[in-house]
Amino acid sequence: AHRYYGKVPTIDTSSRRLYHRCKRKWDWGSPLRQGLRAKKNGLPFVLGSLVHEALDAGYKRKPVDYGEMRSAYAELAEVQLDHYRAVHKPWASEAEQFDAALDLGRSMVAEYANWAPAQDDFEVLASEVEGLVPIFAPLPTDWNVTYVPDVIGLYYVRFDALLRDNTGRVWIMEHKTCERWWTPTMLALDEQMSAYSWACERILAEANEGVRVAGVLANFLLKHAVKDPPLLKDGSPTTALRRLAYTTADRYAGWVDRPRSRAEADALFTLRERERTEGHPTLRRVRVERSRHQIDQQGERILRDLLAMTAPDPDTAPSASFLCEGCVFKEHCVQAEAGDD
Protein backbone atom coordinates (compact mmCIF):
# COMPACT_ATOMS: atom_id res chain seq x y z
CA ALA A 1 0.00 0.00 0.00
CA HIS A 2 2.87 2.41 0.73
CA ARG A 3 3.77 2.70 -2.96
CA TYR A 4 0.47 4.53 -3.48
CA TYR A 5 1.12 7.09 -0.72
CA GLY A 6 1.01 10.62 -2.11
CA LYS A 7 -0.54 9.40 -5.34
CA VAL A 8 -4.06 8.73 -4.05
CA PRO A 9 -6.06 10.39 -1.23
CA THR A 10 -5.52 9.18 2.34
CA ILE A 11 -8.32 9.23 4.91
CA ASP A 12 -8.64 7.96 8.47
CA THR A 13 -11.25 7.58 11.20
CA SER A 14 -10.77 11.15 12.50
CA SER A 15 -11.34 12.71 9.09
CA ARG A 16 -14.44 10.56 8.53
CA ARG A 17 -15.85 11.59 11.90
CA LEU A 18 -15.24 15.26 11.12
CA TYR A 19 -16.84 14.88 7.69
CA HIS A 20 -20.04 13.48 9.22
CA ARG A 21 -20.02 15.88 12.18
CA CYS A 22 -19.65 19.11 10.19
CA LYS A 23 -18.92 19.16 6.48
CA ARG A 24 -17.93 22.84 6.49
CA LYS A 25 -15.30 22.36 9.19
CA TRP A 26 -14.04 19.33 7.28
CA ASP A 27 -13.94 21.35 4.04
CA TRP A 28 -11.94 24.16 5.63
CA GLY A 29 -9.60 22.04 7.77
CA SER A 30 -8.99 18.83 5.80
CA PRO A 31 -5.74 18.45 3.81
CA LEU A 32 -7.95 16.97 1.07
CA ARG A 33 -9.73 20.34 0.80
CA GLN A 34 -8.48 23.77 1.97
CA GLY A 35 -6.26 22.67 4.86
CA LEU A 36 -6.79 25.84 6.93
CA ARG A 37 -5.52 26.22 10.49
CA ALA A 38 -6.27 28.75 13.22
CA LYS A 39 -3.74 31.59 13.51
CA LYS A 40 -4.02 31.62 17.30
CA ASN A 41 -3.79 28.38 19.23
CA GLY A 42 -5.59 27.99 22.53
CA LEU A 43 -4.46 25.85 25.43
CA PRO A 44 -3.21 22.64 23.76
CA PHE A 45 -4.88 19.45 24.88
CA VAL A 46 -2.09 16.95 25.35
CA LEU A 47 -3.34 14.76 28.18
CA GLY A 48 -4.67 11.94 25.98
CA SER A 49 -1.60 11.72 23.76
CA LEU A 50 0.83 11.75 26.72
CA VAL A 51 -1.07 8.97 28.47
CA HIS A 52 -1.12 6.93 25.25
CA GLU A 53 2.61 7.33 24.69
CA ALA A 54 3.47 6.47 28.29
CA LEU A 55 1.42 3.26 28.26
CA ASP A 56 2.83 2.31 24.86
CA ALA A 57 6.36 2.73 26.27
CA GLY A 58 5.64 0.02 28.83
CA TYR A 59 3.88 -2.38 26.47
CA LYS A 60 6.66 -2.29 23.87
CA ARG A 61 9.06 -3.83 26.41
CA LYS A 62 9.39 -7.61 26.70
CA PRO A 63 8.24 -8.45 29.28
CA VAL A 64 5.85 -5.55 29.78
CA ASP A 65 7.48 -2.94 32.03
CA TYR A 66 4.86 -1.15 34.12
CA GLY A 67 7.48 0.98 35.84
CA GLU A 68 8.55 2.28 32.44
CA MET A 69 5.05 3.70 31.99
CA ARG A 70 5.57 6.03 34.96
CA SER A 71 9.11 6.97 33.90
CA ALA A 72 8.10 7.62 30.30
CA TYR A 73 5.25 9.87 31.37
CA ALA A 74 7.56 11.95 33.58
CA GLU A 75 10.00 12.47 30.68
CA LEU A 76 7.28 13.20 28.13
CA ALA A 77 5.52 15.65 30.45
CA GLU A 78 8.72 17.58 31.10
CA VAL A 79 9.41 17.93 27.37
CA GLN A 80 5.83 18.98 26.68
CA LEU A 81 5.89 21.54 29.49
CA ASP A 82 9.12 23.14 28.19
CA HIS A 83 7.67 23.26 24.67
CA TYR A 84 4.43 24.81 25.89
CA ARG A 85 6.18 27.55 27.84
CA ALA A 86 8.55 28.38 24.96
CA VAL A 87 6.01 28.38 22.14
CA HIS A 88 2.74 29.53 23.70
CA LYS A 89 4.10 31.86 26.41
CA PRO A 90 0.99 31.28 28.55
CA TRP A 91 -0.62 33.56 31.07
CA ALA A 92 -0.34 32.45 34.69
CA SER A 93 -3.89 31.05 34.68
CA GLU A 94 -3.24 29.07 31.49
CA ALA A 95 0.02 27.69 32.92
CA GLU A 96 -1.85 26.53 36.03
CA GLN A 97 -4.42 24.72 33.89
CA PHE A 98 -1.68 23.05 31.89
CA ASP A 99 0.21 21.98 35.05
CA ALA A 100 -3.03 20.57 36.48
CA ALA A 101 -3.61 18.56 33.30
CA LEU A 102 -0.09 17.12 33.46
CA ASP A 103 -0.55 16.21 37.13
CA LEU A 104 -3.81 14.47 36.32
CA GLY A 105 -2.13 12.45 33.57
CA ARG A 106 0.66 11.47 35.96
CA SER A 107 -1.92 10.15 38.43
CA MET A 108 -3.83 8.28 35.69
CA VAL A 109 -0.70 6.52 34.41
CA ALA A 110 0.49 5.61 37.92
CA GLU A 111 -2.91 4.12 38.80
CA TYR A 112 -3.00 2.15 35.53
CA ALA A 113 0.51 0.80 36.15
CA ASN A 114 -0.63 -0.45 39.57
CA TRP A 115 -3.88 -1.94 38.26
CA ALA A 116 -2.84 -3.53 34.95
CA PRO A 117 -0.49 -6.38 36.07
CA ALA A 118 -3.38 -8.31 37.59
CA GLN A 119 -5.53 -7.71 34.49
CA ASP A 120 -3.11 -8.41 31.62
CA ASP A 121 -3.74 -12.01 30.58
CA PHE A 122 -2.39 -11.75 27.05
CA GLU A 123 0.76 -11.77 24.90
CA VAL A 124 1.73 -8.51 23.20
CA LEU A 125 2.45 -9.36 19.55
CA ALA A 126 3.28 -5.80 18.48
CA SER A 127 2.93 -2.30 19.92
CA GLU A 128 2.23 1.05 18.26
CA VAL A 129 1.04 -0.57 15.04
CA GLU A 130 0.71 1.77 12.04
CA GLY A 131 -0.47 0.91 8.58
CA LEU A 132 -1.91 2.06 5.27
CA VAL A 133 -4.66 -0.08 3.81
CA PRO A 134 -5.55 0.23 0.10
CA ILE A 135 -9.13 1.14 -0.77
CA PHE A 136 -10.16 -0.36 -4.08
CA ALA A 137 -12.55 1.07 -6.65
CA PRO A 138 -16.03 -0.49 -6.71
CA LEU A 139 -16.33 -3.54 -8.89
CA PRO A 140 -18.25 -2.99 -12.14
CA THR A 141 -21.52 -4.84 -12.48
CA ASP A 142 -20.13 -6.92 -15.36
CA TRP A 143 -16.80 -7.73 -13.69
CA ASN A 144 -15.09 -11.06 -14.33
CA VAL A 145 -12.13 -12.97 -12.92
CA THR A 146 -9.66 -11.04 -15.09
CA TYR A 147 -10.68 -7.63 -13.69
CA VAL A 148 -8.11 -6.00 -11.40
CA PRO A 149 -9.62 -3.13 -9.38
CA ASP A 150 -7.72 0.15 -9.07
CA VAL A 151 -6.48 1.53 -5.75
CA ILE A 152 -8.33 4.84 -5.37
CA GLY A 153 -7.36 5.70 -1.80
CA LEU A 154 -5.59 4.67 1.38
CA TYR A 155 -6.88 4.24 4.93
CA TYR A 156 -4.44 5.17 7.69
CA VAL A 157 -4.66 3.43 11.06
CA ARG A 158 -2.59 3.50 14.21
CA PHE A 159 -3.53 1.41 17.21
CA ASP A 160 -1.78 0.86 20.50
CA ALA A 161 -1.03 -2.86 20.37
CA LEU A 162 -1.87 -6.21 18.81
CA LEU A 163 -2.51 -8.99 21.34
CA ARG A 164 -3.13 -12.71 21.58
CA ASP A 165 -5.20 -13.85 24.54
CA ASN A 166 -4.88 -17.14 26.41
CA THR A 167 -7.39 -18.79 24.06
CA GLY A 168 -5.41 -17.86 20.94
CA ARG A 169 -7.73 -15.09 19.75
CA VAL A 170 -6.17 -11.90 18.35
CA TRP A 171 -7.27 -8.50 19.64
CA ILE A 172 -6.45 -4.87 19.00
CA MET A 173 -5.66 -2.91 22.16
CA GLU A 174 -6.79 0.71 22.38
CA HIS A 175 -6.32 3.12 25.30
CA LYS A 176 -9.08 5.69 25.64
CA THR A 177 -9.14 8.62 28.05
CA CYS A 178 -12.68 9.82 28.73
CA GLU A 179 -14.75 12.18 30.86
CA ARG A 180 -17.40 9.53 31.51
CA TRP A 181 -17.86 5.82 30.88
CA TRP A 182 -18.93 4.69 27.45
CA THR A 183 -22.35 3.05 27.29
CA PRO A 184 -22.92 -0.41 25.74
CA THR A 185 -24.69 1.30 22.83
CA MET A 186 -21.66 3.49 22.13
CA LEU A 187 -19.40 0.44 22.18
CA ALA A 188 -21.69 -1.47 19.81
CA LEU A 189 -21.87 1.39 17.30
CA ASP A 190 -18.36 2.87 17.50
CA GLU A 191 -16.96 3.02 13.98
CA GLN A 192 -13.33 3.36 15.02
CA MET A 193 -13.32 -0.12 16.57
CA SER A 194 -14.95 -1.60 13.47
CA ALA A 195 -12.58 0.27 11.14
CA TYR A 196 -9.53 -0.87 13.11
CA SER A 197 -10.69 -4.49 12.93
CA TRP A 198 -11.25 -4.18 9.16
CA ALA A 199 -7.86 -2.54 8.60
CA CYS A 200 -5.93 -4.89 10.89
CA GLU A 201 -7.16 -7.97 9.06
CA ARG A 202 -6.00 -6.52 5.77
CA ILE A 203 -2.61 -5.54 7.16
CA LEU A 204 -2.15 -9.10 8.43
CA ALA A 205 -3.32 -10.49 5.09
CA GLU A 206 -0.58 -8.53 3.30
CA ALA A 207 1.90 -10.13 5.70
CA ASN A 208 0.53 -13.57 4.74
CA GLU A 209 -0.99 -14.00 8.18
CA GLY A 210 -4.49 -15.37 7.72
CA VAL A 211 -5.72 -14.09 11.06
CA ARG A 212 -9.25 -13.14 12.04
CA VAL A 213 -9.46 -10.27 14.52
CA ALA A 214 -11.84 -10.86 17.40
CA GLY A 215 -12.30 -7.15 18.09
CA VAL A 216 -10.89 -4.44 20.31
CA LEU A 217 -9.71 -4.71 23.89
CA ALA A 218 -10.44 -1.18 25.07
CA ASN A 219 -8.82 0.32 28.16
CA PHE A 220 -10.88 3.23 29.46
CA LEU A 221 -9.08 5.70 31.73
CA LEU A 222 -11.43 8.16 33.36
CA LYS A 223 -10.04 11.69 33.61
CA HIS A 224 -10.17 11.69 37.39
CA ALA A 225 -7.40 11.10 39.87
CA VAL A 226 -7.85 8.37 42.47
CA LYS A 227 -8.09 10.17 45.78
CA ASP A 228 -7.47 9.48 49.44
CA PRO A 229 -10.66 9.64 51.50
CA PRO A 230 -11.56 13.12 52.76
CA LEU A 231 -10.81 13.45 56.47
CA LEU A 232 -13.15 14.67 59.16
CA LYS A 233 -12.19 17.16 61.85
CA ASP A 234 -11.05 14.38 64.18
CA GLY A 235 -8.68 13.02 61.50
CA SER A 236 -10.79 9.97 60.66
CA PRO A 237 -11.83 9.23 57.05
CA THR A 238 -15.32 10.08 55.94
CA THR A 239 -17.88 7.30 55.67
CA ALA A 240 -20.10 9.23 53.25
CA LEU A 241 -20.04 7.13 50.09
CA ARG A 242 -20.97 10.08 47.87
CA ARG A 243 -17.58 11.58 48.77
CA LEU A 244 -15.74 8.34 47.99
CA ALA A 245 -16.62 8.05 44.29
CA TYR A 246 -12.93 8.10 43.26
CA THR A 247 -11.45 6.36 46.30
CA THR A 248 -10.41 2.72 45.97
CA ALA A 249 -10.88 0.19 48.75
CA ASP A 250 -7.10 -0.10 49.14
CA ARG A 251 -6.76 3.67 49.55
CA TYR A 252 -9.50 3.67 52.15
CA ALA A 253 -8.01 0.66 53.95
CA GLY A 254 -4.74 2.57 54.24
CA TRP A 255 -6.52 5.00 56.53
CA VAL A 256 -8.54 2.35 58.36
CA ASP A 257 -6.22 -0.58 59.04
CA ARG A 258 -8.32 -1.49 62.01
CA PRO A 259 -11.74 0.10 61.64
CA ARG A 260 -12.47 2.30 64.61
CA SER A 261 -16.20 2.35 64.05
CA ARG A 262 -18.94 0.26 62.52
CA ALA A 263 -19.54 3.02 59.94
CA GLU A 264 -15.90 2.86 58.74
CA ALA A 265 -16.05 -0.93 58.50
CA ASP A 266 -19.29 -0.69 56.51
CA ALA A 267 -17.78 1.92 54.17
CA LEU A 268 -14.72 -0.26 53.51
CA PHE A 269 -16.93 -3.29 52.88
CA THR A 270 -19.10 -1.29 50.46
CA LEU A 271 -16.05 -0.06 48.54
CA ARG A 272 -14.75 -3.62 48.17
CA GLU A 273 -18.16 -4.81 46.96
CA ARG A 274 -18.36 -1.91 44.52
CA GLU A 275 -15.01 -2.86 43.01
CA ARG A 276 -15.99 -6.53 42.87
CA THR A 277 -19.20 -5.80 40.95
CA GLU A 278 -18.38 -2.59 39.06
CA GLY A 279 -14.59 -2.64 38.87
CA HIS A 280 -12.05 0.07 39.51
CA PRO A 281 -13.56 3.56 39.98
CA THR A 282 -11.42 5.15 37.23
CA LEU A 283 -10.24 2.21 35.07
CA ARG A 284 -12.16 -0.30 32.98
CA ARG A 285 -11.25 -2.87 30.37
CA VAL A 286 -13.90 -3.94 27.88
CA ARG A 287 -13.63 -6.56 25.16
CA VAL A 288 -15.58 -5.21 22.18
CA GLU A 289 -16.15 -8.02 19.71
CA ARG A 290 -16.83 -7.38 16.04
CA SER A 291 -18.73 -9.84 13.86
CA ARG A 292 -17.86 -10.71 10.28
CA HIS A 293 -20.86 -8.68 9.14
CA GLN A 294 -19.68 -5.58 11.05
CA ILE A 295 -16.15 -5.79 9.68
CA ASP A 296 -17.22 -6.31 6.07
CA GLN A 297 -19.85 -3.59 6.35
CA GLN A 298 -17.21 -1.17 7.64
CA GLY A 299 -15.16 -1.70 4.49
CA GLU A 300 -18.18 -0.71 2.38
CA ARG A 301 -18.72 2.43 4.50
CA ILE A 302 -15.09 3.46 4.18
CA LEU A 303 -15.36 3.20 0.39
CA ARG A 304 -18.56 5.28 0.35
CA ASP A 305 -16.97 7.96 2.56
CA LEU A 306 -13.87 8.13 0.36
CA LEU A 307 -15.99 8.60 -2.76
CA ALA A 308 -18.04 11.34 -1.06
CA MET A 309 -14.99 13.14 0.37
CA THR A 310 -13.14 13.15 -2.97
CA ALA A 311 -16.10 14.08 -5.16
CA PRO A 312 -15.52 17.11 -7.44
CA ASP A 313 -18.19 19.17 -5.65
CA PRO A 314 -18.85 17.65 -2.19
CA ASP A 315 -21.52 18.87 0.19
CA THR A 316 -19.94 21.44 2.55
CA ALA A 317 -22.98 22.67 4.48
CA PRO A 318 -22.39 23.42 8.22
CA SER A 319 -23.98 21.36 10.98
CA ALA A 320 -24.95 23.43 14.01
CA SER A 321 -24.38 21.88 17.44
CA PHE A 322 -23.01 22.74 20.87
CA LEU A 323 -19.58 21.82 19.49
CA CYS A 324 -19.69 25.04 17.43
CA GLU A 325 -18.82 27.11 20.49
CA GLY A 326 -15.37 25.53 20.71
CA CYS A 327 -14.69 25.50 16.96
CA VAL A 328 -11.70 27.52 15.68
CA PHE A 329 -13.75 28.47 12.62
CA LYS A 330 -16.80 29.69 14.58
CA GLU A 331 -16.65 33.39 13.69
CA HIS A 332 -15.70 32.77 10.07
CA CYS A 333 -18.47 30.21 9.69
CA VAL A 334 -21.11 32.65 10.91
CA GLN A 335 -19.80 35.30 8.51
CA ALA A 336 -19.77 32.85 5.60
CA GLU A 337 -23.34 31.75 6.36
CA ALA A 338 -24.42 35.41 6.25
CA GLY A 339 -22.73 35.82 2.89
CA ASP A 340 -19.94 38.01 4.26
CA ASP A 341 -16.83 36.19 3.01
Instruction: Tell me the mean pLDDT per 10 residues along the chain, length 341.
Output: 79 94 94 80 70 95 96 94 85 88 95 96 92 86 63 94 93 95 94 94 76 92 94 90 94 80 92 95 95 93 95 92 90 91 66
Please give the pLDDT value at position 316: 92
Number of helices and strands in the chain (H, E): 11, 6
Q: Give the pairing of strands 213-222 and 283-289.
A: antiparallel
Please give the pLDDT value at position 104: 95
Please give the pLDDT value at position 146: 58
- What does the alpha-carbon distance between residue 113 and residue 276 come to, in Å, rounded to a whole number? 19
Please give the pLDDT value at position 95: 87
- What does the alpha-carbon distance between residue 188 and residue 192 come to, in Å, rounded to a whole number? 11
Other beta carbons less than 10 A from residue 176's beta carbon: 19
Q: Give me the amino acid identity at 43.
A: L
Please give the pLDDT value at position 89: 82
CA distances from 78 to 25, 71, 83 (A): 33, 11, 9
Most distant CA atoms of the chain, gap in Å: 83
